[in-house]
Amino acid sequence: MLLEIFNVRSGAVLDRFAGTETVDYLEVPICGLADPEALVTIDGKPVRRDDRRFEGTARLTRQINEVVVVSSSQYGELRQTLTLVWDKKAFKRYNFSLDDNVFFLTDIARQRPKSLFDHFYLKALKGIHDKYGTCFTANCFFHNDHNPFEIKDFPDTYKAEFEDNADWLRLAFHAKSEFPERPYQWASPEKLAADYDLVSSEIVRFAGERTLIPPTNLHYGMAPQTSLHVLRERGMKVNTGSFILPYPPEDAANPLARCCDIGLYYGKDVAEYVVSHLVFYDRFQDMFLCPDALICNLTPLDQIVPEMDRLLINNPYYNTAIALLSHEQYSYPTYVNYLPDHLQRIERAAAHATLSGYTPVFFAEGLLGNPVWEAKGNS
């Protein structure tokens, strides 16, 4: 017996580019193979047949949809259920996360400037926001391993200023500290929960509830699948990472060198799909997976635009939501791997996203920054 769907997989996030969208539904094609003598239905409706091939459509009417394909013959019945997500009224959008933040908090706590934006790092981010509307999520450490400091000692005197700018600058949990590397790769749920709550409670204390936002990634992007419920219970809906990395790095063109890493232990089939399609929905964890499409500190300034164009224009599985990333410490002359043009790289990525028609969003809000399903009358 045979039943295989080959044009869409369970976990796909689909928008108007994948089919026909109306106010009430997104109708998408479903194509596959079944035994020639079998009766095939999609959500109870017969499909067109051509020998083993079948073609039909499914109507998605909710954010998360279950589509049932059944093949029945004298030999029995095969059934396949697909979980498909409707990105309703999709628009081009980007999320910009900045990891490993604790240096600017250390500086401000010690220097006590009149304004947060007197500090060069936040001043630069605000300048980028003022030009392009970019929204930044600063994922924070509790402890500074380079210049001993803990955010429990950050004053709450800037709380109002943080909250006044929370429409574009948000703070989130990243890890307790930078070292050891991969702190949650083997972490228990209890360890992950304790660190998450520690950092989050401090952010609320000194920056206010409005400034706190669920992160879109963990430090080093690794945690056991059995611990991910801790993140979901705290509102984290999106996980970004690399998912597929070549080892050795110089052998990137060799498919045998591509292995799963910095991707929360997902299997290679999911990891490859995430990297090529840019988004995937894990129904078991109720989370969206997105690759870090561009990491500014790893991409030379003159390659920012070509790399983004490769992603946005030449990707055969065009998607409307992209994740941009960089790391705070590369902005600091005192850091061993300081990049003098790091803040320029961040600005160039934001500028080119804007030029390409992308709107800044927070992936942690709505469906990857798309608020339509949270609007009144939708469910």
Q: Cβ–Cβ contacts within 10 Å for residue 107, how many?
A: 18
Pick the last residue of a domain from 49, 64, 86. 86
Q: How far apart are CA 239 and CA 279, in angstroms?
A: 10
Q: How far apart are CA 137 and CA 199, in angstroms?
A: 14
Please indicate, yes or no, if residue 369 is contained in any of the structural domains.
Answer: yes
Share of the chain above pLDDT 90, in %: 88
Same domain, 193 and 271: yes
Cα dihedral across residues 221, 227, 233, 238: positive or negative: positive
Same domain, 77 and 115: no
Please indicate, yes or no, if residue 54 is contained in any of the structural domains.
Answer: yes
Q: Above 90 in pLDDT, residue 250? A: no
Same domain, 56 and 138: no
Same domain, 101 and 236: yes
What one-letter code names the amino acid at 106?
A: T
Q: Give CA 2 to chain center in angstroms.
A: 35
Angle CA 104–149–215, to nearest 5 = 55
Same domain, 199 and 284: yes
Question: Which 3 state secondary structure label does DSSP give 283?
Answer: coil
Task: Answer for the pair 244, 236: CB distance below 8 angstroms, yes or no.
Answer: no
Same domain, 202 and 345: yes
Q: How many Cα atoms sit within 13 Å of 373 on the Cβ side?
A: 17
Pick the last residue of a domain from 55, 86, 117. 86
| Antiparallel, parallel or unpaired: β 26-34 and 3-5 | antiparallel
Q: What is the domain range of residue 26?
A: 3-86
Q: How far apart are CA 375 and CA 379, in angstroms?
A: 8
Residue that the structure tokens 């078991």 belong to: 284
Report the pLDDT value the prediction gives residue 3, as an integer from 0 to 100. 97
Please state the rounded mean pLDDT for residues 84-109.
Answer: 97
CATH of the domain at 14: 2.60.40.10
Q: How far apart are CA 4 and CA 12, in angstroms?
A: 16
Please state the rounded mean pLDDT for residues 42-61.
Answer: 97
**Whats the size of the chain, residue-wise?**
379
Greater confidence, 377 or 177? 177
Task: Answer for the pair 184, 175: CB distance below 8 angstroms, yes or no.
Answer: yes
What one-letter code names the amino acid at 139?
A: N
Please indicate, yes or no, if residue 170 is contained in any of the structural domains.
Answer: yes
Same domain, 71 and 157: no
User: Which of these ranges, 121-130, 209-218, 271-280, has the smallest mean pLDDT?
Assistant: 271-280
Average pLDDT, the chain: 95
* Continuous H helices in 100-219: 103-111, 120-132, 159-164, 189-207
Same domain, 159 and 292: yes
Same domain, 261 and 287: yes
Pick the last residue of a domain from 68, 86, 104. 86
Q: Tell me how many domains the chain contains.
A: 2
Please indicate, yes or no, if residue 379 is contained in any of the structural domains.
Answer: no
Same domain, 67 and 103: no
Q: Above 80 in pLDDT, residue 316? A: no
Share of the chain above pLDDT 70, in %: 99
Please indicate, yes or no, if residue 41 is contained in any of the structural domains.
Answer: yes
Report the pLDDT value the prediction gives residue 245, as an integer from 0 to 100. 82
CATH of the domain at 357: 3.20.20.370
* Closest by Cα among 238, 198, 194, 204 to 218: 238
Task: Answer for the pair 58, 27: CB distance below 8 angstroms, yes or no.
Answer: yes
Please state the rounded mean pLDDT for residues 124-145.
Answer: 98
Report the pLDDT value the prediction gives residue 125, as an integer from 0 to 100. 98
Q: How far apart are CA 47 and CA 53, in angstroms?
A: 10
> Whole-prediction pTM value?
0.94
Same domain, 242 and 297: yes
Q: How many Cα atoms sit within 13 Å of 158 on the Cβ side?
A: 22
Report the pLDDT value the prediction gives residue 377, as an integer from 0 to 100. 61
Q: Above 60 in pLDDT, residue 328? A: yes
Same domain, 19 and 77: yes
